[in-house]
Each structure stands twice: as structure tokens, then as C-alpha cells.
Structure 1
């Protein structure tokens, strides 16, 4: 084996720096004031190896398939050289826990090679057992690397990148992604460190993940969490890529319920902008969605799940040299990738469709075995009367995929066979409409013959309806209908008209209560069933009145029976000819009289005649009465003793009713003139037969010794 000495030295120097294929391994980011030249290593673009591979194949379930059919590793400057390791990455489509790469040593042993499978990263590392190995040894090993999926029904496509460098390679865009562990590094330091890293002449930058396959390869399949090049430090809530070729591209607006004009892969409820969290970081494994993003402060947290653990460097930009450090191949899993079931109304012809990732599609009538009934992307059944499941599989040269069920549905067109028409209700309200169909299916409801359906189901509750109307029922089965709308009449029956009453009865008497609607059915709260009932006690009585069939509508009348209070006279106040009857408790339904014949609502009487009389009070129903005697005393204002038979004497009318009554008369100077009493009730204007002059005279009236004095004056006119 010949190795160019200067090439050998250069390669050994390069890989001692790259540590099994890493780019510039910088233990710490550059500090302020330190130039980049102090931390950069030599570029290897001039003598980078070249990898080429073929092997785009079809994978059959539960098999082991070599990922390449040919592989070549060469160097522009030498015939043969040595390298430390080869890295084979499932770069897209990786299903953790099911996909696996392994080195097959059954047919050809590879004693010099150690194969290390990292399930979390989806990466297989091949390296020598002791010293670096030749290209040829690695080529032989790569030819025996196999892919396997443990599922019986795998799907999709797997892309494999085969690289000399340890950075993950994404064939779609030709970029490399390297995770650099550095616990506690800040975002700004990570950005600066990423920008001075190179990978075989490719300039690095803090990763910008603009598509799902990038996010999976650089995040979910990375060996740890780290900073990426997104930030909203410039404008709060507007997240941009601020590194690499995508600098300035907005990928998110707002908080966790925001929107994205481009690809974004935030963790649950992120970004939440807690504190000053302006920088994007791939979430720690085990926290939320694998490989998703979180917003952190520039230095992250001092410890815990949100402490910065490192950063992701992306290599690849317009103008970078075109390298062939990596080769890639593809396995397409033979599977039915999509199906189109068929359905129709009533029996007839149906056509099923399917597409496959590769191979020829065959159709069967059973999941296993059964009859082969067709080939191609579609299957037409000339006549089908019941729901039937068919099965499609794709067949390649080496294998057949699992069969996929595709249903052909026959929806029998139903009819309405019964409704609850007419739907009735006593008075306005909600109506429940029902209908049954001839077979499977349900019912669409309409408020008119045309227009859109207002509801569906075997029953429907209307809105408030106050007048007779008609709704319509249409039978349907998965969109299949005969377009016949069956009317369902709605009838609003009137309720019997009742008027609640309050009636009064006399104490210890009965009263007749009347439902007041003839020729219907009655049910009183006393369980009586006649139109009228007699009751002797006060209280609230109800009667349910029900109209005749077919309406049979019931309404309830309430009659309140009460008794009036008994009237009770407290006092009869007499002021000359004005009399006021005062009660212990007044009520609106009491009426008054002072002759026992003529009654009035007012308790005050004017111009009452003099003498002994009685005051009367009763309730308007004449259930009870009370009376009290009283006397009206009328004192004349003047008298004219001229013997003309008019006002010739001064007399207090009614004094005769008071045996102990006394009236004392005085002149204007207070001189006693005479006394009047029960037996001497009048004065003729003389003293000792001598006429007194015309003047004002005074009196003091007492009806008995215990009654108060009543004082006044009158005139004697001549």
C-alpha cells in the first residue's frame, strides 16, 4: 500500500483536528478582541475525498436490504489513503425504534471494522478496530451495510447519506449539520463560534432550519440540544432567521397562537416570551416534541431543562465549493401510498383506485389468499349491491407489500315510511317532529319545500311556533336521497280561555265557584268534576278545564276565596251637624250610614239632624254590620225674641237627651244671666221678665258633670 507522504501527513493532521470527521473543533468560542485567524484551522477543500454511490432500490417489508449496490471513495491527489471513520445517516424519513442500519458480517466478515448504531441519531458509524483503515476496507464494509424496518407495514422513503465527516448530510439541499456541545454557551457566543467554523472549505453559520427534513436531521436526530439562528430581538414577536443565507427571513409572528409565513417547529405553547426570551433553541430531548424549538434568554437558564447545551452549525451556502464528501442512496418502501374508496347510491358500477410507491398494483377479494380480480391503479366492479371490501397490494420483482383494504359502499336510497303528522301542541311552543325511514339512513328536515335543510336526524325539535304550518322530511343515506319531501303538518290547538278570579264570602257561609266555561271537562283541586262547586272555607282553588277531543287541551283557572274583615266602630265624632264614623280598622269594602237605610262610601256626614241617632257600618257583601248611637247638639248662632214665631227663643236642640246636661248663659261682661237644663231648655231674652238689649251673649255647655265644657257665643237681635 502506497501513501503519498505529504498527503498522509495532511490527512492525519486534518483528522486529528476534526476528531473523526468533525469540522473545526473549537473548545471555546472566540472572545472579543481575538481574531478569527487564531481559531481557524486549514481548509481541506483542495484534497477532500470524493464519495460516489449507487443503490436506489425498493424495500420489501421485514427484509434486510443493502443500502448501496456500488460505492467508491477516492482522493484527487493519491491512489489510496487512510481514513478514521465513515458515517452513514438515515437523513430523511427516519422512524426511530423501527428503522435500523447494521453491518452484515454473515456472508463476509469484517474483522477490522467496528459498527456502532446510534438509534437516537439514526446514524451508523464504521471505524477501524485500531488504526485508520483504507478506502477499500471501508468500501467493502459499506457494501454490506443493510437497512431493516421492524414493522409489517412500513411506508415512505428512506434517504441515506454516506459521509467521511461526522456532520449530518442532507441530500435534498447538499448541506451539512454539526452539533457542537458546549454547556452554558450564550446565543451570541454560539453565533460567533459557528461563523468561524469550516467544513472542508464550507463556511459555517448557526443553523437555519427552513423545512421539516432539516428540523428532523439537525434537531430530532442530533445528539443534543442547542442554539439555532432564530431571534425576535429586533422586533418583539417577529421571529426571523438572523444567520446564514436566510438572514432576514421571517418565520413566525406572535406568541404560541401566532402564525407562520414559512416553516416553524415550536414546542408545545412556545414561543411564550417568558422574561426576555428572544433566541431560538432546540428543546432538550425528553421535553415536549422531539427536536422542536423553544425561546430562551440570551444565556439560557443556569441549569436544568432550559440550560444551553451547545449549538447547531450548518454548512452550505451559495458560492460554496461543490464537494462530494457524501454520497446518498434511496430506498423506496414498496407500499400502497394512497387509496380512493368508492360509493354510489343504490346498486350499480363502482370503481376503486390506488397508488403505489413502486411496483404493480394487484387487487384481491380477501385480505389473505382469495382471488386475484384485477391489476392496475383502478378496479371496476360492473355491478355491486352491498358494501364490499377489496384489497390492493403492490408487487415488485422481489416482494409484495401488505394488502390494504379499500371499501366499496352501496348506499341504498331510503324513503320516509312514517311521520308523526300532524304534530300537535296545545298553544304556541316547540314541536318535536319524528319520521322513520325504510332502511338505513337518516332524515333531513326542511321548513319549506325548497331551500336548505334546517336539521337532520330521525327527530327534530322546531323553534317556537305560534300558528299552523307545515315542515318537510326527506330520507337520506350518506347523501343518497330520492328527493321526495314528505309534509309533516304542525297544528297549534287553542287553550281554553280562563280568567283567574278573587271572590269573597261571608263568615260561616258557603260560596259557589264557577269554572265559567260550559261543555268541557273539569277537574277541581277538590277532585270534583262539575262546572261549579260550593266551598265554605277560604283558600286558593284551581280547576283544570280540558277541551273536547281531538284538541284535549287543558288550561288551569285559579279562584282565590277570601273573607272581609268585620267592621267595628271605634268612635262617632260629632262637630255640630258634621258626623264622622271612626273604625278600629278601615277597609275599602266598608260602607256607612246614619239612618240605616242610605249607605255611602264616605264615613263623614254633613248636615246631620239633631237628636239621638245611630251610626251604621257594613261590608259591601252585607256579611256583617256594626252600629253605635250618637247625639247631635245644635247651638243656635242667634235668636230674635220679637214674637213673630221665628227664632223667638234660644234653645240647644238635643239637650233633652242629656238629663244631667246644663247650659250657663252670660252677658258680654261675664254676668250670669240664667241656667238651662233638662227641664228648662230655652231662654226668651229676658231677666225677671225684663228684655235684655240686643247684644252678644256667651254660653258654657256641659252634657254631664264629667264631660268637657263647650264654650261659644250667640247674638240677640231686636
Structure 2
């Protein structure tokens, strides 16, 4: 009884020494554990996770209460199981075990609560087996074997420990401070910072409870940072639910529609702290954002916090956990082989783990060879072999050794004429496999495959080569197909004019050829009387043809309808206006516009013509422009006031008045001008007015002019 009491006191001092303070004078070295284990797993079998387990410990501490073995990565809840071997279970009744499916963790302990020697735990650990219920498991499982105090999870990848601390209703800031006060064998605790999927899985989905973690956007809304532990100040997310992860980890594990900064009357400042969501709410182990106080009791009410140990400055180096792995082996790749006609072949296969065994049957059969490469005996026909990963018969994969026959090539034409430049479709067939096309008689690369090959544009004599290929077994020689290029007749399209009511001759332009017009005629020249598009196909002695197109456009005959005169401006109006008409007045230059300006008074001739010489028309017209002044000083220049062209209007009259309205003179066909006198008396220099009327149906034209002395 005294020895047991002393042992308990020493153990208690050891726990206090490494978990809470270092003020005791008694120093107990923490235990260490090492384990070997890198096994291969075949579907639905039981495989031990470790061998050669060694636990070293302080001489004063030879036992402990429990060992924890957890599937720390790759865990599939509902398929993976850890258990003690049935034989060990029956021969070591003092050690019992319980498996937590939610954590993927097996606990080895005494049901009576007694301490168990480390040596017994070594044997127990070597008797722990892994089982997966799936017929087709995949991936790798990592196992952490922990001998330290408490039910902590260990991640071998980073050497960190994770502890769930229940604390109903605890605030985030309180959890942060409480985590910072916790230690584990001298490792400094902090609210967990989960920077990778395996870490989020182990400390979240596989944790015995859910709670606060060390993420916050309280500093800047929408900028989520780790604010605890070694990652303090590291940004991992920008934005709300549709945001993005950031460097250096590019990882976040938000739940559906999170984070959302949900503002409610009981949390008016929103949500700024990361919390692992309760089970059954969205994705297992995922995160949501909460206010510092959390929500009222319910699914989003804080129930605790996750403490992480490891990575802090000054942390001691511990070996309280060991790790092993099991790989779900299978054949990951195969390389079949083929050859032409009979012979041996080399097949290859690679296993995810373990050796490759070769068999002659998909099940059972004879083991033919062990290794990644297998050379078959001489084969005369296609044969299938089976590669198996290690001793997992369910993983066999078929690998085929193929014997191919040599094909025969058939080509209907080996010489093909081509008129001018263009593409040519070549044809070939084979009784086996496929036809490949080349541009050289040997070597080179395949430029096309199939029974037909359409060449690129050919400008000169060219040869292509066809070869039959049956799974890399080819016909004896490539067959050449020659394309001979001939020059087609050189023709040029034309456009010509047909004058209204006349005929025109069309000419194919080349003599000594065969001709076929769109009219059905077959002569070099034809005569047409209607406009339109005409074609003629010209064929030479090599049967190369070219088609010439002649566009015949009809031009109407020009004819003046009427001429509009407004003072010195003249417009010539044709009966049917056309863009190809030109206009002129008297002997002036022809122009495309029918408008003329500054035409002097008098008799004139208007002209209209077709620009391609399809006729011309003309018509006379008169311009009447009263002079603005005259100088009757007997110098024989501008001595009389006269309207040129008035003589052509026999019914016209012009009444001239002085400024007082006195009638001075009347001009008409018999009296065409005024000399500036009244009853032979010279009138003074002044302005005078006129009223002109061309005939009784025309309006009066009024104006004035100056008499200058």
C-alpha cells in the first residue's frame, strides 16, 4: 500500500511539473514513444498498425492510465475501425479498448481504472488492427499513437497536439485567454489555427466537441486573420461567403454561406470570431462566424474551445506520440504491349504499395512472376495476363499482350491531275487498321489518318504517300500518289455597256479552245441584245477549264425633258435621270451635275450625253437678266439699257418708270432697248424701275436699275 501511494504521489508531481508549473524540485522525464509501421492494406482485411513499439520512461514512472491511437489523416467515418486483436483481447483481460467513430480514436485503458505498465501497452499497441468495410478503399491512413496525459489528438505532419476544452457559454475573448494559460508538457497552448485540411479534419470533424478557434476579422471587417499562436497576424480569407483564401496557406473551411457577419438585435456589431459549427449543421467540422458572446442557447451557442500545442517559440521537443501508416494498395498503372506477328512481349505494372505479382487468370491461377516487368513466352495470338498488388487478390488488373496482323493497302488511283492550284482528296483503303498519310517515302511524321486525305493547297507537282497501319504493324512499303499540276486557261472577267435598243458582241478572249456559254452557244464570240450576267467556260487540251464572267449593263439613251431657268441659274432635267449622264451648256465642258450658275442673259443650248457614248440630246433655252445699270454717254459701250433674249418673247413687255412713278418708256419685240431719254431729253442719273411681263399668263417681274452719267 505504501509503494502504491508513493507511486501516485510521484506521478502527480510529474503531471504538475509538466502540465502546469515547474516549481517542484522533483524532476521526472516525460516518456517517449517510437513505432514502426508502413503496412499494405488489402480490402476488407485486418492489418496491424504498428510493430517494434518502444516506450521509454523515467524509472520512477513505469505505468500510465491510457494510450490513445487515432486515425490522424485520411479517416473515413463509417468505414474505418480500430480495434484490439481478438487473441490479445482474450489473453490480456486487464487492458480494454473503446473506439470513438466521431473522433476515429481508439482508447486503451483498464476498465478498473488501474495504471498499466508501459511494457503491457507496447504489446497492446502492436496488437491494434485497422479494418475498412469498403470493398474498394483508397488512400493512405496515418495513425498517431499518444501516451501523454489527457485525451489529445496528435497530427504527425506538423507534430502539433489538439485539445477540446468544454466550457458552455464561454466568450471568444475568454477562450483566447484561457487557451493561452494552458500548457502540455511545457508546450504553450493557444486557440487553434487550422491552416490545412488534415488539421481542420482532426481538430474539427474528429474532435470530441466543437468550439472557438483563433480566427477573427474584428480589426477590419471582411479581412479574416489568425490572431493567436505562431500564425498571429496571418490573413487567410478576404470577403464574406463568396470571398477568397489568401497566401501563404490558401485554406479556409467555412460552412455553407459563411462568413456572413449576421447582425441581430442581440449582436448589433455583427460577427467577428471563428467557431467550429455544431454537428449536424452543414459540413462536419466546418466553421461559422459568431459574435464574441455567441448566439443564445441552440446550435450556435459556444460549448467550448480548441487548444493547439506546438510551434511556439521556446517549446520543448517532445516525443509523446509516434506515427505509422497504412496504404490501400492497388495497381496504379499498367503498360500493355503489342507486336507484329508472333513473339514474346514485356508487360509492365506499378503498385501503390508492395510488389507486383503476375497471374494467368483473373482469380486464383498460377503465379507466373513477381516484379514490375513481366516478359511473356512466345505468343502467336493476343493473350491477357493479370497484375496483382502485393497479396491483394481483389486488386488484379488485366494487362494485354497483343499480337497484330500485317495489313494490306489498296489505292484506286496513283496519278491524279490538278488544274491550277487547289486541294485534292486522295483515297486509300486497308483490310486491317487505318491508313496513315505522309509527305515523304520513309520516316517523317503522320500528316493525316483515314481512308481519305484532303491535301493543303497545291501549286506544283507533289507526291504524297499512303501506308496501312494495324496497331503499329504496317504494310511493306509506302505507296506514292502523284499529283500533276496543269495550268488552266487564263481568263479575266469583264464589264461592258449595252446601249438601249442596240446589240453587243461578247468575246471569250482565247482562241483554239472549247467554249460553253451560259446561253448554250459554243463559239468564241456571241451577240447579245439584253443586259445581264453572261458566263463562258473555256477548256484547254488538258481538260482544264476556267470560267469567265461578263457583266452587261444597259444604258438608257439620254433625253432632255425640260429646262428650269431662275434668273442666272439653270437646271437641266432628263426624262430618266441616270448616274452615267453628263451635262453642258453651249460649248462649255460637260459635268456630272445638272445645275449651272451665272448664265448670262440670252439664247443658250443645253446638252445631255451618256458617258459611254450611248447617244446625246440638246435643247435651246433663254435667260432673261435685266442689267443693273447702264451709262448712256455716247462712248459706244453700255449706252442703252436692254434685256438680252427679250426678242425671243414676242408678247413680252417692259415698262420703265422714274422714281416718281412716271412712265418713261415701254420695251417690246419692236423696241428692245432704252437710251436714257424722255421725248429726246436726256434724263438725269438716278434709279429707275421696271415692270416686266413675258406674256399674259406669266407673273410680273419688278426691279430697278441705275442710270449713270
Counterpart CA distance in 2 for 1:217 and 1:171 is 11
Q: CA deviation at 1:62?
A: 1.8
Tell me what 2:252 maps to: 266
Show the counterpart of 1:178.
163
**In the superposition, relative to structure 1, how do residues 673 and 568 fare at CA in structure 2: closer, same or farther (>3 Å)?**
closer
> Which of residues 568, 579, 586 is equivalent to 2:561?
568
1:376 to 371, 376, 382: 371
Could you list the per-position Cα deviations for residues 24-80 of structure 1 after superposition, in whole angstroms to 9, with x for gaps in the alignment? 8xxxxxxxxxxx99xx99999849788888887665432334557899999968899
Give distance in 2, aligned partners of 1:10 and 1:248: 38
- Structure 2 residue 50 is matched with structure 1 residue 64: no
The one-character-per-residue Cα deviations of 1:507-538 (angstroms, maximum 9, x if unpaired) are xx3654847656544437xx9998757456x7
Identify the match of residue 147 of structure 1 among 130, 144, 156. Answer: 130
Distance 2:574 2:41 in 1: 111
CA displacement, residues 259-303 of structure 1 (integer Å, 9 cap, x when unaligned)? 756x65434899999889998776777788866788x69959869
Is contact 1:215-1:265 (8 Å) kept?
A: no
Q: 1:316 to 1:357 in 2, by over 3 A?
A: same
Per-residue CA distance 1:363-390 (angstroms, 9 max, x = gap) = 0133223443212343123656877653
Q: Secondary structure at the match of 2:308?
A: strand
Residue in 1 aligned with 2:154? 169
- Tell me, yes or no, if structure 1 residue 357 matches structure 2 residue 353: yes
CA contact (8 A) 2:558 2:608 kept: no
Which shifted more, 484-493 or 218-227? 484-493
1:314 matched residue in structure 2: 308
The alpha-carbon deviation at position 122 of structure 1 amounts to 1.0
User: Aligned equivalents of 1:208 and 1:512: distance in 2?
Assistant: 95
- Give the alignment partner of residue 143 of structure 2, picking from 138, 143, 159: 159
TM-score normalised by structure 1 residue count: 0.60
Q: Quote the residue 2:100 is aligned against.
A: 118
1:341 shift after superposition? 1.9
User: Does 1:391 pair with 2:394?
Assistant: no
- How far residue 101 of structure 1 moved from its aligned partner, in angstroms, is 2.3
Cα gap change, 1:188 to 1:468, in 2 (>3 Å): farther
Provide the rounded CA distance (Å) in 2 between the counterparts of 1:379 and 1:616.
Answer: 106
Alignment map for 1:40-79 (pairs within 5 Å): 46=28, 59-65=41-47
Name the CA distance, whole Å, in 2 between partners of 1:489 and 1:64. 71
Query: Against the structure 1 CA distance between its residues 600 and 342, is the aligned structure 2 distance closer, same or farther, given a 3 Å change threshold?
Result: closer
SS in structure 1 opposite 2:203?
helix
Give the Cα separation in 2 of the matches to 1:316 and 1:653.
120
Q: Name which of structure 1's ranges 234-243 and 221-230 shifts more when overlaid on structure 2.
A: 234-243
Partner Cα separation in structure 2 for residue 82 and residue 146 of structure 1: 22
SS in 2 for 1:542: strand
Q: Distance in 2 between matches of 1:51 and 1:673?
A: 144
Alignment partner of 1:4: what SS? Answer: helix
* Distance in structure 2 (CA, Å) of the matches to 1:345 and 1:406: 14
CA contact (8 A) 1:179 1:311 kept: yes
Q: 1:95 aligns with which of 76, 87, 95?
A: 76
The yes-or-no answer on 1:4 pairing with 2:4 is yes
CA distance in structure 1 between the aligned counterparts of 2:644 and 2:156, rounded to whole angstroms? 136
Determine the structure 2 residue equivalent to 1:341.
Answer: 335
For the 8 Å contact 1:474–1:484, the answer to whether it is kept is yes
3-state secondary structure, aligned to 1:369: coil
Determine helix, strand or coil for the equivalent of 1:570. Answer: strand
Distance 1:290 1:677, change over 3 A: closer
| 2:530 paired with 1:548 | no
Q: Report how many residues are paired.
A: 656
1:352 is displaced (CA, Å) by: 1.4
Partner of 1:33: none
Structure 1 279/445 Cα, relative in aligned 2: closer, same or farther at 3 Å? farther
Provide the rounded CA distance (Å) in 2 between the counterparts of 1:432 and 1:179: 77
Contact 1:90 1:160 in 2 (8 A): yes
- Is contact 2:331-2:397 (8 Å) kept? no
Shift of the 371–282 alpha-carbon distance from structure 1 to 2, 3 Å rule, reads same
For 1:74-85, list aligned pairs within 5 A.
Answer: 83=65
Q: Residues 653 and 88 of structure 1: is their aligned pair in 2 closer, same or farther, counting only changes over 3 Å?
A: closer
Stretch deviating more after TM superposition (337-346 or 214-223): 337-346
Q: Deviations over 1:213-271 (max 9, x none)?
A: 54543344334555556789999999997765x5689897999777756x654348999
Matches within 5 A, 1:476-491: none
Render the CA deviation track for 1:442-480: whole Å, top value 9, x for unaligned: 86888x9999979866589999x7966969789798997
Q: 1:43 to 1:664 in 2, by over 3 A?
A: same
What is the TM-score when the length of structure 2 is the normalising length? 0.61
Shift of residue 99 of structure 1? Answer: 1.2
The 8 Å contact of residues 445 and 471 in structure 1, kept in 2 or not, is answered as: no
Cα offsets for 1:137-157 (capped at 9, x unmatched): 996987875421113344545
- Change in Cα spacing, 1:216 to 1:557, as seen in structure 2 (3 Å) is farther
Q: CA RMSD in A?
A: 7.5
Contact 1:87 1:166 (C-alpha < 8 Å) held by counterparts: yes
Contact 2:349 2:387 in 1 (8 A): no
Map 1:173-322 to 2 at 5 A. 175-181=160-166, 189-207=174-192, 214-224=199-209, 265-267=251-253, 299=292, 310-316=304-310
Report the equivalent of 2:266: none
Could you list the per-position Cα deviations for residues 490-515 of structure 1 after superposition, in whole angstroms to 9, with x for gaps in the alignment?
979788521345x4643xx3654847
* Distance of 1:147 and 1:42 partners within structure 2: 42
Given the superposition, is the C-alpha separation of residues 213 and 562 from structure 1 closer, same or farther in structure 2, using an over 3 Å criterion?
A: same
Does the 8 Å contact 1:662/1:675 carry over to 2?
A: yes
Give how far 1:335 is off.
3.2
Q: 1:166, CA displacement in angstroms?
A: 0.9
Distance 2:464 2:547 in 1: 28
Secondary structure of 1:96 counterpart: coil
Q: Is the 8 A contact 2:237 2:244 kept in 1?
A: no
1:393-431 alpha-carbon deviations (Å, 9 max, x no partner): 2455xx756323445578999999779997979888xx6
Distance, in Å, in 2 between the alignment partners of 1:264 and 1:705 is 102
Contact kept, 8 Å, 1:521 with 1:529, in 2: the verdict is: yes
Contact 1:92 1:160 in 2 (8 A): no
CA contact under 8 A between 2:192 and 2:308: conserved in structure 1? yes
**In the alignment, is the contact (CA less than 8 A) between 2:436 and 2:446 conserved in 1?**
no
Cα displacement (A) at 1:89: 1.5
In the aligned structure 2, how far is the partner of 1:629 from the partner of 1:69? 126
Contact 1:100 1:149 in 2 (8 A): yes
Match of residue 518 from structure 2: 523
